[in-house]
Amino acid sequence: MFRFASPEWFYLLILIPLLIGIYLWAVRSYRQRLARFGDPATVRGLMPEASPKRIRHKFVLCIAALALLVVAAARPQFGAKLKEVSREGIELMLAVDVSNSMLAQDFKPNRLERTKYAIGRLLENLKQDRVGLIAFAGDAYVQLPITADYVTARNFTNQLSPDMVSKQGTAIGAAIDLAVSSFSSLSEGSRVLIIVSDGENHEDDPFSAAQRAAEKGIAIYTIGIGTPEGAPIHIGNDFLKDSDGNMVVTKLDEAALEKIALLTGGAYIRSTSQSLGLQEIIDKINETEKTRFKTSVFEEYNEQYQYLIAAALLLLLLETLIISRKNRILARFNIFKSIDS
């Protein structure tokens, strides 16, 4: 695996076009000043030792050395070896409702945005567990397969939107079945599914799906987002209306979410405007039986910057050896014939 440990140093590369511009301006200014003395060809004859090509080559060498030093500062690295390590943790699948009802604003700025925030906080508290992400509405899709990369998980969570599914609804059963098939083959008690939804408008039978998950040892925790009083669904600059022109009001269905969790030995957490229930669910997950699993990681990285520094120093040495003016003694041996030709 190849990576740059400090990629922020690449910002210094902007100096290269800036230096090239200054150099071209200086060359043009020099030629203009030279032209004031007379015909350029005649003036060059009066300065036989002048060598614009040598100066140009010295500049190119300096620019190349600078580029190499910047890349070296970014610390290019190669993964030395892939090591299989044993960790103790759980597999956690997050199933997030992205139906239009999650755009209701009884939670500010809306239910879906608060859900993203809640998951982000949850990921910050995970240590050695592996996590996956499912987005569901009328259908369910694997947004992110099981991984130990929490940064990637947060990035995929931030992309959740009702626009990512074509069929509206709340097919919690489909999300449960998809999650069951997406876990790896770990022992019972090591797999946890967290469903974040308002629980409304089921498209299937989530209770049968929860029972199938329980038979495979998968605990389901549900987080209810929304209020029992409900709120209209704000889409764009208008509110969602039914076929009769009435404003649609979406309400939290706690009974369904509680039953799903109880069928699998999990728990239901209701979010409020003051608390999203994160600490409660994290505490319960920490009480879940851990399972040792193996994962592959790069044990160490070999630094490669020293080769680039060596190359840059070689170019700077060469630039130093090339004098900017022709030397009458060295000219007899045509040392720089290839440069001046």
Question: Taking the mean position of all CA atoms in its chain, how far away is CA 177?
Answer: 28
Looking at residues 202-211, what average pLDDT do you find? 86
Looking at residues 291-305, what average pLDDT do you find? 62
Contact 171, 140 (CB under 8 A): yes
Reduced to 3 states (helix: H, G, I; strand: E, B; else coil), residue 99 is coil
Looking at residues 327-335, what average pLDDT do you find? 52
Tally of CB atoms within 10 A around 140: 23
Residue 293 has pLDDT above 80, yes or no: no
Crossing angle of helices 52-73 and 305-321, rounded to 10° = 160
d(C-alpha 206, C-alpha 136), whole Å: 13
Predicted local distance difference test score (pLDDT) of residue 296: 52
Return the H-helix or E-strand segment holding 140: strand 140-147
Predicted local distance difference test score (pLDDT) of residue 289: 54
Q: Does domain 84-296 have CATH number 3.40.50.410?
A: yes
Residue 119 has pLDDT above 70, yes or no: yes
Pairing relation of β-strands 268-270 and 218-224?
parallel
Predicted local distance difference test score (pLDDT) of residue 341: 45
d(C-alpha 118, C-alpha 71), whole Å: 38
Pairing relation of β-strands 191-197 and 218-224?
parallel
d(C-alpha 135, C-alpha 267), whole Å: 21
Q: Position 116: which residue type?
A: K
Domain ranges of the chain: 2-79+302-340, 84-296
Q: Which of 98-102, 138-142, 165-169 has the lowest mean pLDDT?
A: 165-169
Looking at residues 293-317, what average pLDDT do you find? 78
Mean residue pLDDT of the chain comes to 80
Predicted local distance difference test score (pLDDT) of residue 46: 56
